[in-house]
Amino acid sequence: AQSVTQPDIHITVSEGASLELRCNYSYGATPYLFWYVQSPGQGLQLLLKYFSGDTLVQGIKGFEAEFKRSQSSFNLRKPSVHWSDAAEYFCAVGAGNNNDMRFGAGTRLTVKP
């Protein structure tokens, strides 16, 4: 079965600084990869997804992610973080045709003023 590792439990960045959140997946075939964001007390919102094609994908709120098959990674980036980006971020991997989506443990982002 597929699995996801998010090595960083908590990251703190200053407002305006760049951000990179790491995600590594394990799956034997081509994965379907997702990044979700969860604000406090809210559900999960999809930021972006990768199915195939261009390995650099653009998402909402100025986020992007790059799929690197050789490193089994799908890291999330943003060039300039805003205070409103403070939230929990989840990487997920889907496999097969049964819509079985597995999530990483999440990375909590704190933004310093």
Partner 1 sequence: DTAVSQTPKYLVTQMGNDKSIKCEQNLGHDTMYWYKQDSKKFLKIMFSYNNKELIINETVPNRFSPKSPDKAHLNLHINSLELGDSAVYFCASSQRRQGTSEAFFGQGTRLTVV
Binding site for partner 1 (CB under 8 A): 32, 34, 36, 38, 42-46, 49, 51, 88, 90, 94-103, 105-106, 108
- C-beta of 92: minimal distance to partner 1 in Å? 8
Which one, 52 or 70, has the nearer CB to partner 1? 52
CA dihedral 59, 34, 103, 62 (to 10 degrees): -10
Complex with partner 1: residue 17 or 105, whichever CB lies closer: 105
**Cβ proximity to partner 1, 97 vs 113, nearer residue:** 97
| Residue 91: half-sphere exposure toward Cβ, Cα within 13 Å | 30
* Minimum distance from residue 98 beta carbon to partner 1 (Å): 5
Closest distance to partner 1 from the beta carbon of 83 (Å): 20
Q: Are strands 100-103 and 87-95 parallel, antiparallel or unpaired?
A: antiparallel
DSSP string, 53-92: S-SEEE-GGG-EEEEEGGGTEEEEEESS--GGG-EEEEEE
Q: How far is the CB of 88 from partner 1 (least distance, A)?
A: 6
Of 30 and 80, which CB lies nearer to partner 1 in the complex structure?
30
What token pair was written down for 34?
Answer: 């997702």
